Amino acid sequence: MATAPEHLTPLSVISHEVAVWVADVARLTLPAKVHWCDGSEAEYRSLQQLLVGNGEMLPLNADTHPGCFLYRSDPNDVARVEHLTYVCTRDREDAGPNNHWMAPAQAHRKMDDLFRGCMRGRTLYVVPYCMGPIDSPFSRGGVEITDSAYVVLNMRLMTRMGRAALERIAREGTFVKGLHSVGELDPERRFIVHFPEESMIKSYGSGYGGNALLGKKCHALRIASWQARSEGWLAEHMLIVGIESPSGQTHYLACAFPSACGKTNLAMLIPPASYAGWKVWTIGDDIAWLHPGKDGRLYAINPESGYFGVVPGTNPKTNRNAYETIRRDTLFTNVALTAGGEPWWEGLHEGKPAFDWQGRAYDPANGPAAHPNSRFTVAATQNPSYSRAAEAAGGVPISAIVFGGRRRSLAPLVYQARGWAHGVLIGAGVASETTAAATGAVGVVRRDPMAMKPFAGYNFADYWDHWIRVGAALEHPPQIFHVNWFRQREDGRFLWPGFGENMRVLRWIIERCEGRAGAVDTPIGQLPGPSDLDTRGLAIGESVLEELLAVDPQSWREELAAIGAYFDEFGERLPQALKRELGETLQRIEAFTPRR
């Protein structure tokens, strides 16, 4: 017998499969109550009040931040846990050396033992959601079962959640099953487990971000990348941004950077004063689903409807759009608090913290006031640069794909791939310094291909092969680029001003796509010559620009050797095309004498 949905009518919108699964989970977890989420405003408000009432959430200053709340997560539960994240395929090789693996039967047993009776005395929330616009053929449905009202609030902001999603699932008949419980928040009893062959996720023991909002990394990247491979599309860790030139033409770019490397800032960029008439439109800040279109171009949708962005560093200078977006109706997690009940974080440059992210009286001896991975959750429509094209069922056409990482040395400010397969090599070779978005050491350079290291739901060798095939089948593939905003001097200062000034680099990228901007050929790809990049009005010396655009053969020889060694981990499955591109790059390096 299916558990009776309590307040959803008509009942016929609930597919039999959803009802049966919810009943099965309720039998396993034994909740006191089952709540089917309808996604309404009234439900949203009442869950906010519930959390305020039981002390889990704090309303912020209603004059300065109307409709805003602060949620403090457990201090040992503040980031994704990659070492506790598993991809469980029947054949271990399908998960690849890039994923932790467990046999599916063993993983189900282990997880079900944790879930058994875990919701006693608690409410089980059924959260139907749709990743992507409800009417898009590219969208996919999911149902997250969770015992966290905080997760429900986040899912309502981040996805199309509720009745319309449930109806779509009933029409389509398929959905991703996500089972989540905060459990005891015990790091020893915490696992984030994926079963791509069953379109299923089981997550236990964390209430935080990517561990718990299952529509995001678990569904829209790990499970979706697996589905995308079998269906001929790509699920990627990319922002989507539209750049409108004064002529009124808009180019869309999809950019893959690792977590906490500025995707949200780039997606909401405000052009510098000298760029009158240029406009930047945000489609998405974290995830792109890319589909080949009938016209031979690649089209992107943003499966999400909100932002789960890093708060520290946000101010009117670094990201005015984000700053304005989060002035109202925003859920803050792990920020600090002023004496006047306003949210506070490092890099805000206004006000003073009175309480730190753990609620203690602020004491600099305890470290930063806001957690470095503190976050805002907010509806995308509040962003001043939000584009209605984010609702387009067919997505937006992509002119350029941009890869990037946080590298203090080596990688130049920007370079362009010689073609699609070379671009896949550039993406596969991305390395970046680790950030506070995941637990573990910060600032360590690691390989993060396509910024998907934590998120690819299958063997990277097969993933790169899929990338090569998708591009080869496109009549008009996007141009591929690599950027690095993070080059540093010895003393730690950044060489490039970044933020709004990145517009200058985007402009070169767009004009390359249009065949208008100049470039210099180098072994690693095409770079702007010093006069190809618009640096008017920038206080940046000639020698700094030279350093930003330099290709040092010895360092690149070492880098290519490191990429080769990394590829060797994938053995026979590594696509020939990648080996060939790597070999050819090395040959070009050997034949290269840099200009002085």
Contacts with ligand SAT, residue ranges (CB under 6 A): 80, 209-210, 216-217, 259, 308, 437
Residue closer to Mn ion (CB basis): 205 or 210: 210
192 in helix, strand or coil? strand
Active-site residue flag, 261: yes
Q: Residue with structure tokens 């928040």? A: 185
304 binds Mn ion (CB under 5 A): no
- Rounded to a whole number of angstroms, the minimum distance from the CB of residue 177 to ligand SAT is 19
Residue closer to ligand SAT (CB basis): 217 or 371: 217
Are the beta carbons of 314 and 348 closer than 8 angstroms? Answer: yes
- Rounded to a whole number of angstroms, the minimum distance from the CB of residue 381 to ligand SAT is 20
Residue closer to ligand SAT (CB basis): 80 or 180: 80
The alpha carbon of residue 465 and the mean position of all alpha carbons in its chain are separated, in whole angstroms, by 22
Name which of ligand SAT, Mn ion, none residue 455 binds, using a CB cut-off of 5 to 8 Å depending on partner kind: none
Q: Which residue is nearest to ligand SAT (CB)?
A: 210
Token readout for 194 is 């994926």
- Rounded to a whole number of angstroms, the minimum distance from the CB of residue 115 to ligand SAT is 22
Are the beta carbons of 484 and 407 closer than 8 angstroms? Answer: yes
Of 37, 118, 218, 261, the catalytic one is: 261
CA dihedral of 502, 504, 510, 511, whole degrees rounded to 10: -160
The helix (H) or strand (E) run that includes residue 86 is: strand 85-87
- Rounded to a whole number of angstroms, the minimum distance from the CB of residue 435 to ligand SAT is 8
Q: Report d(CA 525, CA 508) in Å as an integer.
A: 14
- State which of positions 276-295 bind Mn ion (CB under 5 A): 286
Residue closer to Mn ion (CB basis): 261 or 578: 261
DSSP labels, 466-514: HHHHHHHT-SSPPEEEEE-S--B-TTS-BSS--GGGHHHHHHHHHHHHT
Residue closer to Mn ion (CB basis): 140 or 237: 237
Name which of ligand SAT, Mn ion, none residue 437 binds, using a CB cut-off of 5 to 8 Å depending on partner kind: ligand SAT
Please state at what angle helix 460-472 crosses helix 420-428, rounded to 10 degrees. Answer: 160
144 in helix, strand or coil? strand
- Window of 29-37, 70-78, 258-266, 412-420 that interacts with Mn ion by CB under 5 A: 258-266
Distances (CA, A) of 51 to 58, 194, 206: 8, 29, 17
Name which of Mn ion, ligand SAT, none residue 210 binds, using a CB cut-off of 5 to 8 Å depending on partner kind: ligand SAT
- Window of 70-78, 253-261, 417-425, 582-590 that interacts with Mn ion by CB under 5 A: 253-261
Q: Report d(CA 160, CA 141) in Å as an integer.
A: 9
- Rounded to a whole number of angstroms, the minimum distance from the CB of residue 263 to ligand SAT is 8
Q: Residue with structure tokens 């490191």? A: 562
Helix runs in 192-339, H state only: 209-212, 224-231, 263-267, 316-325
Residue closer to ligand SAT (CB basis): 214 or 414: 214
Choose which of 259, 264, 374, 416 interacts with Mn ion (CB under 5 A): 259
- State which of positions 168-197 bind Mn ion (CB under 5 A): none
Token readout for 518 is 């100049």
- Rounded to a whole number of angstroms, the minimum distance from the CB of residue 308 to ligand SAT is 5
The alpha carbon of residue 569 and the mean position of all alpha carbons in its chain are separated, in whole angstroms, by 26
Q: Report d(CA 25, CA 4) in Å as an integer.
A: 13
- Rounded to a whole number of angstroms, the minimum distance from the CB of residue 263 to Mn ion is 7
Name which of ligand SAT, Mn ion, none residue 465 binds, using a CB cut-off of 5 to 8 Å depending on partner kind: none
DSSP labels, 393-439: TT-EEEEEEEEE---SSSS-SEEE-SSHHHHHHHHHT-EEE--TTBS
Name which of Mn ion, ligand SAT, none residue 482 binds, using a CB cut-off of 5 to 8 Å depending on partner kind: none
Q: Report d(CA 252, CA 397) in Å as an integer.
A: 6
The alpha carbon of residue 460 and the mean position of all alpha carbons in its chain are separated, in whole angstroms, by 18
- Rounded to a whole number of angstroms, the minimum distance from the CB of residue 221 to Mn ion is 8
Residue closer to ligand SAT (CB basis): 402 or 574: 402
Name which of ligand SAT, Mn ion, none residue 71 binds, using a CB cut-off of 5 to 8 Å depending on partner kind: none
Name which of ligand SAT, Mn ion, none residue 224 binds, using a CB cut-off of 5 to 8 Å depending on partner kind: none
Residue closer to Mn ion (CB basis): 210 or 242: 210
Token readout for 332 is 């803050």
Name which of ligand SAT, Mn ion, none residue 303 binds, using a CB cut-off of 5 to 8 Å depending on partner kind: none
Size of the site for Mn ion (CB under 5 A): 2
Residues with active-site annotation: 261
Contact residues for Mn ion, defined by CB under 5 A: 259, 286
